[in-house]
Amino acid sequence: MHDDRTLVEARLKRVLDERLRPAVYPESVPLEVTVWHAPDEPVPVAEGLAATTEPIEVGARWGVPWGTSWFRVTGTVPAAWAGRTVEALLDLGFDENMPGFQCEGLVYRPDGTPVKGLNPRNQWVRIGAPVEGGEEVRLHIEAASNPVILDYHPFLPTQLGDKETAGSEPQYKLERMDLAVFDETVWQLVLDLEVLGELMAELPVESARRWDILRAVERALDAVDLQDVNGTAEAARSLLAGVLAEPAVPSAHRISAVGHAHIDSAWLWPLRETVRKVARTTSNMTALIEDEPDFVFAMSQAQQWAWVKEHRPEVWAKVKKAVADGRFVPAGGMWVESDTNMPGSEAMARQFVHGKRFFLDEFGIENDEAWLPDTFGFAAGLPQIIKAAGSKWLLTQKISWSQTNKFPHHTFQWEGIDGTRIFTHFPPVDTYNCSMKGSEIAHAASNFKDKGVARHSLAPTGWGDGGGGTTREMIAKAARLKDLEGSATVVWETPGEFFEKAEAEYPNAPVWVGELYLELHRATLTSQAKTKQGNRRSEHLLREAELWAATAAVRTGFPYPYEELDRIWKTVLLHQFHDILPGSSIAWVHREARATYERLAAELNGIIDAAQRALAGEGSADLVFNSAPHHRDGVPAGGARTPAIVGSTALAARVNGGFVLDNGLLRVGIDARGLVVSVYDIEADRETVAPGQAANLLQVHPDFPNMWDAWDVDEFYRNTVTDLVDADEVVPGADGVSVRIVRSFGVSRVTQVLILAPGERRLGIDTEVDWHETEKFLKLAFPLDVHAERYASETQFGHFYRPTHTNTSWEAAKFEACNHRFVHIEEPGWGVALVNDSTYGHDVTRHVRDTDSGTTTTVRVSLLRAPRFPDPETDQGVHRFRHALVAGAGIGDAVREGWRINLPERRVTGSQEVAPLVTVDQDAVVVTALKLADDGSGDVIVRFHESRGARTRATLTTGFEAAGVTVTDLLERPLADVAVPELDGDRITLRLRAFELVTLRLTRA
């Protein structure tokens, strides 16, 4: 037989495009349209429905950037259409290639009942099936004219990312507002041919199945009268029934389709618009659930559920019913799909506490899975947090974006720093917006790396980010793929159903130990510095507020601010979303975030101040409150007293210019350029700074990645560097015992103050940058005379080691990585810590001297970037950072100093010292939270972990009369099958494994 395959395939494409798809709606009549443009921010639904409208024609431009327009469409169903299915086709000016990134709408009935969302791939509203003819149609559309930020030429700087700079040019043209007859037979024929055509394209050319499909398609096309598509569609479908009925082979890959609409809680739109995106999507999905009996939809992010409950009660009622029916599934058990690299220990824990508690309170549903398809890599401390929250599975997809190395598994056990393992799945479909295309299904099957030992994978199915979720077309395709020869099989299932099957079939899944590092988006550790500083400061203020409010409540009866803390925590957790905290959202988002953090800081400082004053009482004594988990200057952790007097620091001129700082423990040499050329550990008799090098060296690199400007830094940035060695001033500081350095470069200016605190092995570095560069990267370098093949970075509830070498491509790819409060490098018996109060990105490199082959290690802190997309003014302005170089530091010193720089002492005048609520006699055991129980019982919650990576025995002593102790999960629920430590008077003996996380609930007598 002659090979006419390409001829038939080309014929199929043209017939579908030009004859069949247009024939789905064979008849239409225009609707009348009027509009009211809201003058500013979105208005309540009742106001939009009642507004006075004016006529607007199809083809007219509408919608200022970030505006809201209320369209009213009216018409009458023609009597001749009686007995047929009729839909309204409402095209606001959509581009079908951009679902989720442009205008959107939510359709209401005149009484305010939401009907469904309008999106680029979802423009229809069912009027009747069948209609009687003569029905009056009256619909209202709340249309959002969100501008296109990520256009066909992506990453171009734009002022559209903030309402304050976006202008008033209309963004869209009204394309179609019609009533139309919907021919379901033609629609079904289109889907038959799409599924078969897409499957055919994925099969080997030499396979018999491909040719069987080709001939069936050819026969069906022959049966279609192109002048009477609607009259011949049924006959064409009958000729395809045979090939559609052939069952899949027994070994076919099995896909669990989960209806999904990944909605970024903010990204190329502000938070307030996400509230409406969620309402549109949930309206779509509840309507689809009513029409499709097999369909299951899963939505993560408790915050988004809470928005629906608060802002769209009519939609919420439908959501609750669908949840009760098991069709609309709460997923993930987190407040938002947060970044997991940068949130601190307690914040990461609270993501699960607040997320899981919302779903438990609202629906009685316990989430077993963490659902994070789009997060930019996963910190090594996360597995035990997931387990401590009562969950056991993790789903993500983003690791497939890694540029250098292909991850070796799709299903595996992920082991964290403490040894906890979590059953983890990466969908091999490689998208969290699957649309059931044949190419996607075939890719999932062929890409799956665990073939031969497992055969299940998951496909999150639906348009995300306001694209409207799963469509009826996707469901129709999945129905055809349920059991189809040549294809993986597809069935709608909940995430829990998938994980149960996947875990059962793969009991000996391979193990991956340590962080899941994404080899992409590394610059999210630095972009939008003030957002990151706001997060770090809020985390520590919340610690202080809980600590002192709980202490004051127990000691004085101070009213514990349950509701205020709950609300503030949820706001901080929201801003840890994986496009807010990473700095990859539009200017509007970060402008609002800065204001929010300032407001929260004022509120939290008010709580802290009130609690501390209640504890201190009236008087004139100078009391220091120590919020850190370690004692300092004679003040116990979690207590307050008059501090001990420590030594002094001397400042002297240096022979060749510059200054020397000396406190008897360290002697610091600062040359005439303001660079630190020596940090001499007097007791250890050794130098910290690498020979011939200078620390506290500011370096500027060009920073223009190939794409994803705010997200990425590409390794070639290192090829060009400018060392900032020229100083405008190097003078004594205002206190007479510090050194002040001023540098100018480009159109920016840096002021630094170097401080050697009395009695401390710590050189403090306060840096103020007035930053006005564009597409530049600012680093702060510390070349250290330490031989180290690995270094430690703090992560949640512990630390994680990374190599300093680049032996393999996996190690070389980690040229920018995340730390929390410290980085620590060490030779046996002596090390150095670099601690910070608000930075995350850093790099560590090894160097060998030519003179003596001695190995040195350089640690560089990432301070600022200046990408122009999506915020063209990223990081412009004044920034302040605090770092400290700690010489002769063990890992315990790094932990202690990291807490110290983030929790500065507070001084309050009063009359009475404050004893801690709890004390721990071993510094390796770090208390991360001390608070009252969330249930209002008055019980005291203490959360702590082993911080040095070693087995530890310690004694916890209560500073109040405790009647009982219980070991709990993060949600403060008793854990079964866990040994409860004995309460011996006021003492509890603890035995902890490396990095073990424990939560105790102490009942007050």
Catalytic site residues?
Answer: 374
- Paired with 181 in beta bridges are 86
Concatenate the DSSP letters of all residues of 186-207 into one string: HHHHHHHHHHHHHHHHHS-TT-
822 vs 337: CA distance, rounded Å: 25
How many of the other CB atoms lie within 10 Å of CB of 980? 13
Give the containing element (helix H, strand E) for 740: strand 738-745
Report how far apart, in Å, the C-alpha atoms of 496 and of each of 205, 225, 392, 426, 675 are.
38, 47, 11, 15, 57
Cβ neighbours of residue 848 closer than 8 Å, sequence gap 6 or more: 854, 855, 856
Least Cα distance to 889 among 808, 827, 937 occurs for 827
Specify the residue for token string 């009660």.
313
69 vs 42: CA distance, rounded Å: 9
Cα-flanking dihedrals φ and ψ of residue 627, to 5°?
-85, -10
What is residue 595's three-state secondary structure? helix
Helices (H), 207-264: 208-223, 229-238, 241-245
Least Cα distance to 561 among 552, 570, 571, 573 occurs for 552
Concatenate the DSSP letters of all residues of 896-963 into one string: HHHHHHHS--EEEEES--B--SEEES-TTEEEEEEEE-TTSS-PEEEEEEE-SSS-EEEEEEESS-EE
Report how far apart, in Å, the C-alpha atoms of 959 and of each of 638, 642, 986 are.
11, 19, 7
* Cβ contact 286:328 at 8 Å: yes
Residue 577: DSSP 8-state: B
* Cβ contact 831:684 at 8 Å: no
CA angle, 210 as apex, 204 and 215 as ends, to 5°? Answer: 150
Q: Residue type for 230, please?
A: N
* Omega within 30 of 0 (cis) for the link into 495: no
Residue 482: exposed, middle, or buried by beta-carbon count in 10 A (0-12, 13-18, 19+)?
middle
Q: How do strand 855-865 and strand 489-492 relate by DSSP bridges?
A: unpaired
911 vs 919: CA distance, rounded Å: 22
Query: Length of the chain, please?
Result: 1005
Helices (H), 38-127: 45-50
- Up-side HSE of residue 115: CA atoms within 13 Å toward CB? 21
Residue 982: DSSP 8-state: P
How many of the other CB atoms lie within 10 Å of CB of 770? 14
Cα-flanking dihedrals φ and ψ of residue 834, to 5°?
-120, 115
435 vs 461: CA distance, rounded Å: 6
964 vs 984: CA distance, rounded Å: 10
Cα-flanking dihedrals φ and ψ of residue 818, to 5°?
-110, 140
Q: How do strand 86-91 and strand 124-128 relate by DSSP bridges?
A: antiparallel
Q: What is the CA radius of gyration of the chain?
A: 31
* Cβ contact 224:11 at 8 Å: no
Least Cα distance to 166 among 242, 64, 240, 250 occurs for 64
* Cβ contact 382:388 at 8 Å: no
- Six-digit token string for 442: 């075939």
